[in-house]
Structure 1
Amino acid sequence: MNLLRYLFLAGVCCISLLPVLRAQSHQDSLLVALQQELEGGDSTRVAFQYIVLGNLARDSSDFEEALSYYSLARTWAPSQNVSITSVAVNQQSLIWQKQGLIDSALQQLTEVVAQARQAPTPQVLPAYTTLGNMLRSAGRKEEAMQYWQEGLTLAYHLQDTLYIIDLQSNIARRYREKGNYPRALQLYLESLSLGIALGNLSEQANLYNRIGVLHYNQRDYDQAINYYRMAFHAHRQSQSLRGHVQAYSNIGLAYLEAGQLDSARWYYEAAIPQAIQLNYSHNLGWNYYGLARIALAEGHYTEALNAAYRSLPPRTQRKNLLGQSYLVLGNIHRALQVIDSAQYYYAQARLLSQEAQDAILNRNALEGLSWTYQQQGRYDQALGLYQEYKTMADSLNNEENTRTQALLAAEYSFQMERDSIAQAQAYAEATFEKDLQQRQYFIILTLGGILGLVVLVLVVGNAYRQKRQALAELATLHEEVAAQRDRLDQALLTKDQFFSIISHDLRGPVNSFGSLAYLLKDYYVRGKHNELPALLNALETNSKGVSQLLDNLLTWALQQQGQLTMKPQHLPLTILVNQVMDIFDYQAKSKEIYLRAEIPKDLKVYGDENALFTILRNLVSNALKFTRKEGQVLIMAEATIRGTQIQIADTGLGMEPEKLEQVFRINEKLVTRGTAGEKGTGLGLPLVKEFTEVQGGNLAVESHPGEGTTFTLWFPNPKEAAQEPQTDEHGKDAPELENSVLA
């Protein structure tokens, strides 16, 4: 046993050393190549090899060796080659920043940018970004803004979309810090449109997150949550696990600030195990901090203490998080009336707020310290701290007022336009008022004549009321008849369309059977055996189409007659989806379409097996029909708190908005041929809609012409199946997607 244990440990050590050995092997091969370049005398290639070696050393955390390689790259780079110099200086500066040598980094970057103005290249754009970020960190925010704007102009000139997005986002962040939220939002949305056009999911996720932060700062927590969720989906599509976890934490924080503690707790608890798995300690600390605040708000002080202690990072790291954790620990001990401990934690929070230059944390810590001194009877110290607290609070309020004034100034032009409209409305109202006064004057003059008719009115009033009542009853009856007529007309129209589909779509395939049979016989007699496989394939395709048409017709007829009984049960979704995929495997391969599913192994859905099979069969058939060669059809599913969500997405033709509005109606005119000429019936999607709703679920479709279509199904758990209207897992009405229809 000991021998086996040693062998196992040795194997683990060897496996752990493989990346190191692989990196060392790569470095050795680069050194060999570098020696060859040195002998060849090509200085540009030598400088490039030194940059690659520097990157390897940096990735191995050997920063001194990396700095040495970058310096050699700058030495070997030709004087006219700004590109290599810019890359080397940018990488050096990032290392110097980590080492605290900010002045050296700023000096080198400034020189590179000045040199690049004479011969701008795409490789200098990272230097603009890095220089702006360092200046911002050093508190020189207006200088940072100038370099970002200069870099943005260069990026537009070079048509480098990625750095247009990056630099424009930094500028938007600066506008956000200055309180000019409309301008910041405008820039973020412009960058987002570029990221979407570029298809860069990582940039899209970052921008969704920044727009969410913008709404969070404005205390518009609902909008912040919406954008954080979009960031989550973009991170999930780009397989960014850390971004996925960060989005969960952001959603939790927004729910916490909005006072929705249960939803906040759900997201924090969902993020924690993933952060542990990824060793994402920074995110893990903020999640425990959020749980501590929730427990404190609910009066669960032991739970709050445990979460707060677990949120504490090392003293030398993340001072902002450490300060917030000390503050919440102070608040917990304050609630427990443990004055000395509360005072200690408030003092630590204040010290860290001064180091991190966090004015809000400093204000809150001052208020807590003042309270502890007051409780100890040390009123002079309490008064001094309280005066500091009030000064800090007034200063922050003034900054908030300044941001508000900037926001009002940004909306000034819009307000002017609204004022002009209001003036026009006021003029119209004044004219109307004058006309009304003239009419009232005329009424007063004629009042005497009207009074003479009062007696006559009283006599005929009763008869008039009876007549009006009769007319009202007649109008009600007329409305009922009209409604019944409309329903009958709709039923007749549906019937006509139904029989039109039957006569058209059955007549063609049946006639084809006769033609194919004749050709089979003729080719067989004449010995044209090579032609038979093509006819057999056509016969198989024709028969499958007729079979699917008859299945849909029979199912639709039974549903309309009320003879289709739903028997809901918990069903393994993976098995059901695999059965559907087996049916369409040949069709997908023949069209060279990638048909795949991403479904958790143990996921179950509550519903009728036959109805769910019909829904999935029609949606997958529809997706394959309208997807081009080498496209893909993806079936996804996930469990929510109150049900199961299923998505069928394709990269096919997509639909125009006007067609999207009528996609669930039976209408022969809406039937469209597929990418390989496949003929539809017009019954599939109406069946999908009816079978989804009859099980208490809902259905949404999102489509973009030329990009594809996504159908989203939601089926409730048994205890939710009878509730109306359908809601999402947080108790809100299920949202409609952009460019989508909610059935």
Structure 2
Amino acid sequence: MSLPKSFSQSISELEDSIYLNHLDRKTRIRLYNLLAREYSFVNQVKSINNAEKALVLSKEINDSAGIASAYRILGSIYSQNDNHFQSLEFFLQALDIFKSRNDSLGIANVYVSLGHYYKRLKRIEEQIDYHEKSLIIFRSLGNKSRIGVATHNLAESYLLGGEFEKSRELVKESIQINSDLNKLSVLSSCYNILGKLEYKIGNKDSAIINFEKVLEISKKLGDKSQKLATVDALINLSDIYYELNQNQLMLDYLKQAIEYSNLTLLDDELSVIYLKLIKYYANSEQFDSLQFYLSEFQSINTKRKDLQLNNQFELIKSVEDSYYLQKVNNKLEKSNLIQATRLQLAYFGIISVLIILIILVWSLYINIKKNKKLARQQMIIQTQKNHLEKLNNTKNKFFSIVAHDLKSPLNSLKSFTDILSDHFDSFSKEDIKNFSNEIKTSVGNTIKMADNLINWARIQMEDVSVDKITLNVAESVQPIYALYRNIASKKDIDLKLEIGENLKICVDQNQLEFVIRNLLNNAIKFTKRGGVIKLSAQELNDKVEIIVEDNGVGMPDQIKENVFKLESKHSIRGTEGETGTGLGLMLCQEFVNLNEGELLIDSEENKGTTIKIRFDKAL
């Protein structure tokens, strides 16, 4: 069934459409994903909620396209909040699904998202690589609309990388395509790129012409204009006229930019504009105006930080709510199970009485047989009691971990924000930047902790399936190695890879990749700067052995002996204060066991750790 109206509907119309009774589930999934995408620009919490609804419904009907689309949207939201680890997880899951479906359009769209992901990380080489990949696919499909977007993205990437001629060639192609298709929003952004290119190489007159085209298109589009391109054009025009000593024009464009940014809620751009005005009024010694814009700058920055913290809190709250919702469902299931067990016991009790009466009447032999049966039932009941006690102890420890490891970083986060709020004027920009980095790291680690806790809980509830396929170890490990080599280099750690070409195993690919990522993450966490980590694999008789070896701090004997026991679990900090729940290795052990493998640890304090995982060699 097609959607009730075109995809250009407003958010309110889309929300109304969701509740139409005649919609089939696939159409409803597409609407949830579309709502999630639209909300990602204005309300990230609502965006996540709609993406999760699409994800749940997609899994119910095994709609892999809906699942992949939801993962891609979730990846974009987490990337916007600098949660790069979780964001990349979602993107890679979406990419895997689209590849398994041979969905070229879906693959190319994920490449676009990965290009934007690396743009936020200021990794120009990777940004260009993914936008080039997306353009190649869109060209092969003959999809003019997406070619117009991809050439725009690649032109912008080349501009950021200083390759001006390549940027010019692509942006002109994009302008032609989007003009033919009347895609005015993308077209305005193309003129903005061309304007910035001309400005960078000193062609101010040509730059002004292109920036004015952006404003002309923006005026024509009204509410549907490309907001960022419009404000960027106004700011660049002000810079040009400042350099031409036409200060009144410079001020006019900056004030237009302020008005437009206020209307479109572009707080980041407002900060940039206020800084330019502060610099101008300070140099011209207009102190009343200087004081006004200093106050505006402080106000907008406070608003941005409060909004960022609120968004991050809401993201964490969303994860927490999902966890507690699952917990409530589990309690209801357990309550129903207890009630069913009681009815069953009552039924067995009645039958037992009847059997006893028959035994008393007919024979002593039947009575003896009945006694033996009761003895066996008693043994089963005792076994179940012991098992329930063990589960209860595990539950108590799990909640203690949640209470400690989630509460501690949130308290730390509150302390940072209290300090910033109470003593903002006494800190330098560098101090504030350092506090912001600490807050960002704390929030990222907290979400990773919550993810590990929820994954562990799902395994305990036997809510994890294993989808085994035959994998080439080198091909599966290479993308993970490429990612963690960059992460390791930030800590001056040399991450080496030594894996043969023809090693094959039969395992669940997602679970194998989870294990290797966790082992590499732990190795980096507990290896000091300048250390060495080696990821290797080898054939061992009828097994394939994957090894992660480091020369880090190693494990004391007490921790090594209890590393897989939940009752002995406690937080361990890395060499530079990185936090964790201590559940990572337990999750690795669980996933390896689910895939009929074996995990071995050899560690010596102050000398390093070697972890080996072994699986049967695939034929």
Structure showing greater radius of gyration is 1
The TM-score with structure 1 as length reference comes to 0.39
Q: Which has the higher contact order (CA 8 A, sep 6+)?
A: 2
The TM-score with structure 2 as length reference comes to 0.45
